[in-house]
Amino acid sequence: MAYDNIVVPNDGEKVTVVGDELKVPDNPILAFIEGDGIGYDIMTASKRIWDAAVQATYGGQRKISWMEIYAGEKASTIYDGNYMPEETFDAMREFIVGIKGPLTTPVGGGFRSLNVTLRQVLDLYACVRPVRWYEGVPSPMKNPQDVNMVIFRENTEDVYAGIEWEAGTPENEKLAKFLREEMGATFFEGAGLGIKPISAFGTKRLVAKAIQYAIDEGHDSVTLVHKGNIQKFTEGAFRKWGYEVAKERFGDYTITEQELWDDYDGHQPEGKIVIKDRIADIMFQLSQLRPAEFSVLAAPNLNGDYLSDALAAEVGGMGIAPGANIADHIGLFEATHGTAPKYTNLDKVNPGSLLFSGVMMLEYIGWREAADKIHTAYQKTLAQNIVTYDFARQMDDAKEVKTSEFASAVIANL
Ligand code: NAP
């Protein structure tokens, strides 16, 4: 495909999908969106680390060919004021795997949020957020080493679908009249009204991805997190459809928590994943009081959003929490924090969130040895007390360094 402003590197090859699997060449073309604000600093630092880890692991036999694609402020200067050019979507569809820095949402622009737009247009229905603690990272938990969970948040439905009408508008009044007169609903005059769609299709594809991940990565449970005691036909249905897809598609690999006690006396049989569910509010407590009991979590959009940030706080906060938005095959990995505009070009912030999103990307393309090398080098760097300002202010004997110096320290430890 020909592009106006995207330069496709000629020393790389495309990642393709064969059957249901990604086929990754030794020199894959991976896309990146630099991001606004601190995007330049963290993307530059992280790319140095990813490239060095690939070189150190495969000695030149494998190499990433980076292809820059555009969104946000950089796009607007290149595409004449367009913050979200169409060819960015085309490039993600063609090249399948990419990573992005944070994006400013232009106030009063055509889009509600560039991130939401990317997710919706590319139908990136699973937002995946691993939450694990690295020794040396300041944490509010007594035993942060017990926190090791991966959240699969549904990305396309729920109250995020944007189906809502402002109080006082004719549309709102029409809907209010219908709900009162034809559906027998009662609510206060002048209420804003929103719709929360949750479907079997949206739920099952999300929960199936979470279970497949648990199987592939050797996790022992998948917990459906929902508010089904109150919202029976949306959150409650999420729970019901989640159990259904576990039986229908993964019956050989899964048992329910009920079956664990009824049939196995509480002893988890080898090779089986336990599917359980928890109501969202108690899940927030349990994630702090008994985190070791949970590994993979699957949640509808809004609860998954809250849960992702709350759990990230347990292991060091947004400066280090990585994430990915994944469709059936397309994977767009991303820093989970924003553009932190006051730190733009100061070479100051923590590159951890983007760095570990890239580590997830290396795992996604099957380059696990390089990903593991970064985990180990990062831990060594922390053990040397070398950190950026955000961790330094929570530690007694930190050696505070710039973003670029932190990257150099990790590379030296590879
Ligand atoms: P933010 O950019 O995440 O920054 C909030 C604070 O979090 C920063 O001031 C800083 O705290 C800390 N922080 C963020 N990234 C950090 C890093 N890499 N290292 C260390 N500390 C970090 O949130 P915001 O100020 O609410 O949003 C700014 C812009 O980002 C908005 O335009 C928003 O729309 C956008 N945004 C984009 C995304 C995305 O692209 N995925 C996500 C969220 C927000 P201290 O001040 O305490 O040092």
Q: pLDDT at position 319, please?
A: 79
Q: Which atom of ligand 1 is nearest to the CA of 390?
A: 20
The protein residue whose alpha carbon is closest to atom 4 in ligand 1 is: 340
**Nearest Cα to 15, choosing from 269, 332, 240?**
332
- Give residue 160's pLDDT: 84
The pLDDT-based confidence of 109 (bands split at 50, 70, 90) is: low
Q: Which of 281, 328, 342, 399 is catalytic?
A: 281
CB 3 within 8 A of CB 90: yes
Question: Measuring from atom 10 of ligand 1, which residue has the nearest CA?
Answer: 340
74, 227, 348, 373: the active-site residue: 227
Beta bridge partners of residue 273, listed in sequence order: 254
Ligand 1, atom 26, lies closest to the CA of 338
How many angstroms does the Cα of residue 318 sit away from the middle of ligand 1? 8
Which of 36, 158, 277, 305 is catalytic? The answer is 305
Whole-number percent of the chain with pLDDT over 70: 98
Cβ of 115 less than 6 Å from ligand 1: yes
Q: Is the CB of 308 under 6 A from ligand 1?
A: no
Indicate the pLDDT class of residue 193, thresholds 50, 70 and 90: very high
| Phi, psi (deg, nearest 5) at residue 233 | -95, 0
pLDDT of residue 97: 98
Q: What's the pLDDT score for residue 55?
A: 98
Q: What is the predicted pLDDT for the residue at 111?
A: 54
> Ligand 1, atom 44: nearest CA belongs to which residue?
338
Asked if residue 106 lies in contact with residue 38, where contact means CB atoms within 8 angstroms, the answer is: no
For residue 214, the model assigns a pLDDT of: 97
Active site residue 36: no
Q: Is the pLDDT of residue 106 over 80?
A: no
Can you say whether the dihedral through the CA atoms of 109, 303, 201, 328 is positive or negative?
Answer: positive
| Cβ-based neighbours of 9, under 8 Å, separated by 6 or more | 29, 65, 66, 67
Task: Tell me what pLDDT residue 107 has.
Answer: 65
Calculate the average pLDDT of the chain.
95
pLDDT tens, residue by residue, 130-185: 999 988 888 999 999 999 999 999 999 999 888 999 999 999 999 999 999 999 99
Please name every residue paired with 296 in a beta bridge, in sequence order, or none if there are none.
150, 222
305 counts as catalytic: yes
Under DSSP, the state recorded for 16 is E
Give the per-residue pLDDT at 120: 87
Name the H helices within 114-169: 114-121
pLDDT tens-digit series, residues 114-131: 888 898 899 999 999 999
- The single residue listed with the structure tokens 């809907």 is 175
Angle, helices 403-412/368-383, rounded to nearest 10 degrees? 110
CA-to-CA separations, 152 to 69, 169, 330, 354, in angstroms, rounded? 26, 36, 16, 18
Mind listing the pLDDT tens digit for each residue in 341-370? 999 999 999 999 999 999 999 999 999 999
Q: Which ligand 1 atom is at minimum distance from the Cα of 335?
A: 41
Do residues 307 and 149 make contact, with C-beta atoms less than 8 angstroms apart?
A: no
Single-letter residue type at 24: V
Q: How far is the CA of 337 from the centre of ligand 1 (A)?
A: 5
Report which DSSP code applies to 102. -
How far is it, in rounded angstroms, from Cα 68 to Cα 108? 26
Per-residue model confidence (pLDDT) at position 336 = 87
Pair 370, 57: CB distance under 8 Å: yes
- For ligand 1, is residue 71 a contact (CB within 6 Å)? no
pTM exceeds 0.95, yes or no: no
**Could you tell me if the CB of 139 is within 6 A of ligand 1?**
no
Gyration radius from the chain CA atoms: 22
Q: pLDDT band at residue 374, thresholds of 50, 70 and 90?
A: very high
pLDDT band at 320 (very low <50, low <70, confident <90, very high): confident
Instruction: Check residue 80 and give its pLDDT.
Output: 95
**Ligand 1 within 6 A of CB of 394:** no
Tell me which H or E stretch contains 340: none
The response to whether residue 349 sits with its C-beta less than 6 Å from ligand 1 reads yes
What pLDDT score does 145 carry?
95
Known catalytic residue: 227?
Answer: yes
Q: Compute the distance between CA of residue 64 and CA of residue 373 in angstroms, rounded to an integer.
A: 16
pLDDT score at 196: 97
Please determine, for residue 248, whether its predicted confidence score (pLDDT) is greater than 80: yes
Q: Give me the mean pLDDT over the 377-401 stretch.
A: 93
For a ligand 1 pocket test, name from 34, 84, 337 the mutation site with the most ligand atoms within 8 angstroms of its C-beta: 337
Tell me: pLDDT of 284 over 60. Answer: yes
* Residue 256 pLDDT > 90: yes
- Ligand 1, atom 3, lies closest to the CA of 338
Q: Write the pLDDT tens digit of every residue in 17-28.
A: 999 899 999 999
pLDDT in tens, 42-76: 999 999 999 999 999 999 999 999 999 999 999 99
Which among 286, 266, 284, 282 has a CA at the least distance from the CA of 274? 266
pLDDT of residue 347: 98
Cβ neighbours for 297, distance < 8 A, ≥ 6 positions apart: 149, 150, 151, 152, 210, 222, 223, 225, 283, 307
Among 339, 355, 394, say which to mutate for ligand 1: greatest number of ligand atoms within 8 Å of CB. 339
pLDDT band at residue 230, thresholds of 50, 70 and 90? Answer: very high
- Confirm whether 281 is a catalytic residue: yes
Name the catalytic one among 134, 160, 213, 378.
160
Q: Is 337 in the pocket of ligand 1 (CB under 6 A)?
A: yes
